[in-house]
């Protein structure tokens, strides 16, 4: 069973469509900064997002989260297992489960 999960999570994240990141971003919401830190997204990039998308404006946290996930994906060499593990480390278990669920559907 664990090997099957590892095989599913080994799907390269850059093979996924942007829609996946939008769905994930909707779940991340106001936690986008913390998640970005666990994904090793540069602080300067996130600082620029804070300036471009002020908090308190509807939809801005989703926009920031989406950009964080895309930035992470474009950094190369990342798998869904990396994303899953980073989300677990950031104590975002529901999002990690979402990644596993979507990866399983994508693998089929």
CATH number at residue 73: 1.10.533.10
- pLDDT tens figures, 15-59: 555 557 777 888 888 889 999 998 899 999 999 999 999 887 888
Give the pLDDT of residue 36: 92
Q: Reduce the DSSP state of residue 108 to 3 states and report it.
A: coil
Give the span between the Cα atoms of 106 and 90, in whole angstroms.
24
Provide the terminal-to-terminal Cα distance of the chain, rounded to the nearest Å.
16
pTM over 0.85: no
Name the residue range of residue 54's domain: 2-107
What is the tally of structural domains in the chain?
1
Instruction: Classify residue 89 by its DSSP letter.
Output: H
């Amino acid at each position: 069973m664990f090997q099957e999960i590892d095989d599913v999570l080994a799907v390269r994240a850059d093979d996924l469509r942007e829609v996946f990141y939008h769905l994930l971003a909707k779940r991340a919401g106001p936690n986008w900064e913390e998640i970005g830190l666990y994904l090793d997204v540069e602080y300067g990039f996130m600082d620029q997002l804070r300036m471009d998308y002020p908090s308190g404006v509807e939809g801005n946290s989703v926009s920031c989260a989406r950009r964080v996930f895309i930035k992470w994906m474009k950094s190369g060499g990342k798998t869904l297992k990396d994303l899953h593990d980073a989300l677990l480390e950031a104590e975002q278990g529901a999002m990690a489960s979402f990644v596993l669920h979507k990866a399983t559907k994508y693998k089929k």
